[in-house]
Amino acid sequence: MSVDSSILLENARLLDPASGRDETGYVLVREGRIAAVAAGSPAGVELPAELPRMDAGGCWLTPGLIDIHVHLREPGDEHKETVASGTAAAAAGGLTAVACMPNTRPVNDCAAVTCQIMAAAATASARVYPVGSISAGLKGEVLAPFGEMRRAGVRAVSDDGRPVVNSQLMRRALEYAGDHDLLVISHAEEESLSRDGVMNEGEIATRLGLRGIPAVAEEIMIYRDLALAEYTGRPVHIAHVSTAGAVELLRRAKERGVRVTAETAPHYFTLTEEAVGLYDTRAKMNPPLRTAADVAAIRRGLADGTLDAIATDHAPHSSLEKDQEFDLAANGIIGLESALPLALALVREGVLSPRRLVELLTTNPAAILGVPGGRLVVGEPADLTIVDPEHRFTFQAPDLHSRSHNSPFLDLEMQGRAVLTMMNGAVTWRLPK
């Protein structure tokens, strides 16, 4: 990928929540960096004749989108996804950076594994920020070497996929993460309440004879982690918020100044537990899809600032893991290539303004993770996304870049898509004509 890429992107709706910019204008990219951001047309500006130009046709131009919660499966489960295939999917979804969770095989709990991921990331289609594990081997017993992993490239720590059951360990993780400038991401689940559960607890689970996971299993653990964050004075980030009660807990915690940020995933604001239908394993994930009231609360939380980011929890699985009994099927769905259209639906439905959407998809994720990007600033690397919010398409398996196709959204009509994604000024995705 060339770093001396230069291009003029003109006639775009520039959406940059960090500066408050929302106007038609242009972005000039020189040698992979943003050289100018301005309203109107570049008519009077002196530009080299050979400079490539692209007319965005009034589409949105935003800072490159950032997903702080994905599973890239490398190393260990390359039949599901790799750093290369996952970042190709990310680029096609308009993303220029992803944070990948440590539950690989082996677990990313030491610098050696982090280095392996970083090596693969060097040629990837998006920036990759590995997340290290909180506990060695995700076993929940002792701390992983945060400092060593930080040096190798880790930006956050999490035992995602599993909760940190031991409260003392979680407290120490929060304290020690501060020494190494790492964000602690909480997978909030009280396992004694959720164990063996496979979908949301309630009427549908009863009817299907499936063991339920009650909302309180998530909320109790969020409460604990909020209490620990408040007690230690350290920030905590809550992953994949799915319940109305969790949104309310976060709202109150933020009101009293607890240092907490939180994300939700597109499926939690789009689908309810009804999607399980007759044991459709594509609707099995953890936390599970909840009720219509939860979906409404998640949407309110995104709009009012209680929830800070939309992250996909992109969890690729092959048919080996999914095409079996519901109880036995793996948790999780892919999300990188459907997140943007699903999020844009919230704009069309009047839940979010375009500006708020861009905040949730890039400005805030960059700030939460403490990484560059998320803003249109002269001199910064040209990580940019051009979004056509009107583009209609069918979300189909053959078009996906991910190695896995486990999505409940397959074959649905969608609206809104990235038409161009650029990292360091180099095109990582261009929507085929």
Q: Which residues pair with 53 in a beta bridge?
A: 8
Asked if 410 touches another protein (CB under 8 A), the answer is: no
Q: Give the number of residues in contact with another protein, rule: CB under 8 A.
A: 20
What token pair was written down for 141?
A: 């017993």
Task: For residues 168 and 67, give the distance between their C-alpha atoms in angstroms, rounded to a whole number.
Answer: 29
With contacts defined by CB under 8 A, name the span among 66-74, 146-154, 207-215, 283-291 that binds another protein: 207-215
Asked if 408 touches another protein (CB under 8 A), the answer is: no
Judged by beta carbon, residue 210 or residue 352, the one nearer another protein is 210
In angstroms, give the least distance from the CB of 103 to another protein: 23
Task: For residues 136 and 130, give the distance between their C-alpha atoms in angstroms, rounded to a whole number.
Answer: 16
What is the crossing angle of helices 167-179 and 215-232, to 10°?
50
Judged by beta carbon, residue 294 or residue 359, the one nearer another protein is 294
Tell the residue number behind the tokens 């990759």, with chain if given. Answer: 128
In angstroms, give the least distance from the CB of 205 to another protein: 8
Q: Which residues pair with 309 in a beta bridge?
A: 263
Per CB under 8 A, which of residues 210..229 are in contact with another protein?
A: 210-212
Binding mask 272-311 for another protein (x = CB under 8 A): ------xx--------------------------------
Asked if 208 touches another protein (CB under 8 A), the answer is: yes
Task: For residues 57 and 13, give the distance between their C-alpha atoms in angstroms, rounded to a whole number.
Answer: 9
Asked if 43 touches another protein (CB under 8 A), the answer is: no
Task: For residues 158 and 129, give the distance between their C-alpha atoms in angstroms, rounded to a whole number.
Answer: 13
Residue 198, CA distances (Å) to 107, 193, 243, 289, 339 in order = 24, 12, 16, 10, 23
Instruction: Establish whether the linkage from the previous residue to 102 is cis, with ω within 30° of 0.
Output: no
With contacts defined by CB under 8 A, name the span among 171-179, 247-255, 321-329, 355-363 that binds another protein: 321-329
Judged by beta carbon, residue 109 or residue 273, the one nearer another protein is 273
Burial class (CB in 10 A: 0-12, 13-18, 19+), 218: buried
Task: For residues 126 and 290, give the distance between their C-alpha atoms in angstroms, rounded to a whole number.
Answer: 32
Which amino acid, one-letter code, is at 314? H
Of 316, 413, 270, residue with least CA distance to 90: 316
Judged by beta carbon, residue 207 or residue 433, the one nearer another protein is 207
What token pair was written down for 131?
A: 């997340």
The correct pick among 41, 324, 394, 396 for binding another protein (CB under 8 A) is 324
Of 84, 144, 150, 152, residue with least CA distance to 115: 152
> Cα(first)–Cα(last) distance of the chain, in Å?
22
Asked if 204 touches another protein (CB under 8 A), the answer is: yes
Asked if 206 touches another protein (CB under 8 A), the answer is: yes
In angstroms, give the least distance from the CB of 277 to another protein: 10
Judged by beta carbon, residue 132 or residue 214, the one nearer another protein is 214
What token pair was written down for 298?
A: 């998640």
* Enzyme catalytic residues: 313
In angstroms, give the least distance from the CB of 189 to another protein: 18
Asked if 256 touches another protein (CB under 8 A), the answer is: no
Asked if 411 touches another protein (CB under 8 A), the answer is: no
In angstroms, give the least distance from the CB of 117 to another protein: 30
Asked if 328 touches another protein (CB under 8 A), the answer is: yes
With contacts defined by CB under 8 A, name the span among 87-95, 205-213, 288-296, 405-413 that binds another protein: 205-213
The correct pick among 20, 44, 209, 350 for binding another protein (CB under 8 A) is 209
Tell the residue number behind the tokens 């398409």, with chain if given. Answer: 393
Residues contributing to the site for another protein (CB under 8 A): 201-212, 278-279, 323-328
